[in-house]
Amino acid sequence: MAQRIEHDVLGDVRVPADAYYGSETQRALDNFKISDRKPQKELINAIALVKIAAAKANMKAGKLDKRKGNAIIRAANEVLNGKFDSQFKIDLFQAGAGTSTHMNVNEVIANRAIEMLHGKKGDYKIVHPNDDVNMSQSTNDVFHSAIHIAAYLMLEERLIPSLKKLEKALDRKSSEFMKVVKVGRTHLQDAVPMTLGQEFSTHALAVYVESKRIGLARDELRYLPIGGTAIGTGINTPKGYATSCILEINRLTKRKFERTKNTFYEIQDQSAEAFVSGALRNVAIVVSKLANDLRLLTSGPSTGFNDIALPAEQPGSSIMPGKVNPSIPEMANMVCFEVIGNDLVVANAALGGQLQLNVFMPIIAYKLIYSIEIMSNAIDTLAAKCIDGIKANEKLLKSRIEHDMSIATALTPYIGYAKAAEIARLSYKTGKTVKDICIEKKVFGRKTLDRLLDPKRMIL
């Protein structure tokens, strides 16, 4: 493989001749052979977006040569368009703070800008990754800002719409099943009647609540420490630079980001990321509860609850012919377990910060973006391939209501708890209905029992 030699503060580095990255990226590739996980495209794009904003702000301030600046902007736009995706392959587990990934972006943009200005890769006299692409910046304000931008956009464009889609699917089923009466369950034992629609309405409301909470968490990410540079003092930035950066970021994203009131805070404190991660954990809890309930309600079909039938999407066994499992809810459960685990990683990384900087930003970025991605995909799949196709086993549910001993609860105001409990136990022991026991014991006449024990009367 043809190579070029680049020089940095530690000495000479051999880099593939056709690579757009440079010496710092190559050192990271050599040093961090830990996993197959790389920074996600959403993070790379957010860094590139900051580079465009910074170049424009530096040109406006008269600090960056316009010929260089425009080449940097064009190169960064090509990064946004995915032209150099293969150049961003540093391992997730790298030197702290994200310097390696940040310099990877700086080097790719610099070398592409050099080409645009008719130079050869590695000729940093034309465009320098630090002096020009990273002008007025530090990893510590760029990387933190990029995490906020990437996560904000993903929450708004992917997760919140996915949650709304799931809420609507559950609402449709709630309306469809609102007149389907069934036995409720507590402690996994029979309880008083309810409708299947009421059961689905609780899940719809839970998803709605979480979408609102995610919106609140998203808003915590609006504040960017751009212009704070190394620790928040803003060293090496020209007057008006931060304001210009924010205005350009908002123009590019069509959002309303703001510069944080205290850049020191956003650089050293990752409580905003931890808050968002916690909100994602709560979404996982709600979605996992839904998946658990669906698996129970469809269990059987001969020996389980069998209240509902889920769409058959996968053969369920390699040995038992005809077996169909609740494969989509099972997938959703596993995604939720992963998201909850990711939250623990984010929490530990956030509390690992020391003094003026948290150095664990690469793992925070990766886990946050990963959780949003898989949660959004899982919710979309759950809505489209499971919820929309659910059918109620109405005949079975009606039969169970007729033999449900818990409807004796409706008699309690008239005959007292003890007498109602005795009737319920007799119903269970003999297999006779509560109504039949009451008629035998002459508790009430049939007409009165038809009214008191009407399941629909017991439902709000």
Q: Are 21 and 85 in contact (CB under 8 A)?
A: no
Q: What's at 80, amino acid-wise?
A: L
Alpha helices in 132-238 (DSSP H): 139-154, 160-176, 196-219
**CB within 8 Å of 355: residues ≥ 6 apart:** 268
Return d(Cα 308, Cα 247) in angstroms, integer: 53
How far is the C-alpha of 317 from the C-alpha of 327, rounded, in Å? Answer: 11
Q: Which residues lie closer than 8 Å to 275 by C-beta, 6 or more apart?
A: 217, 220
3-state secondary structure of 192: strand
**Apex CA 127: angle with CA 121 and CA 133, to 5°?**
115
Distances (CA, A) of 23 to 12, 28, 34, 70, 140: 8, 9, 19, 24, 20
Neighbours of 447 (CB within 10 A): 8
Strands 258-259 and 308-309, by their bridges, are: unpaired
Distance CA 313, CA 385 (A): 8
* Catalytic choice (244, 288, 299, 317): 317
The single residue listed with the structure tokens 């690992």 is 352
Q: What are the DSSP calls for 330-346, one per residue? A: HHHHHHHHHHHHHHHHH
* 81: number of Cβ within 10 Å: 11
317 is catalytic: yes
- The DSSP result for 394-449, as a single string, is HHHHHHHHHT-GGGGGGGHHHH-HHHHHHHHHHHHHH---HHHHHHHTTSS-HHHH
Q: State which H helix or E strand residue 308 sits in.
A: strand 308-309
Enter the tokens of residue 313: 């999407």
User: Which tokens go with 214?
Assistant: 């995610």
**Catalytic machinery residues:** 317
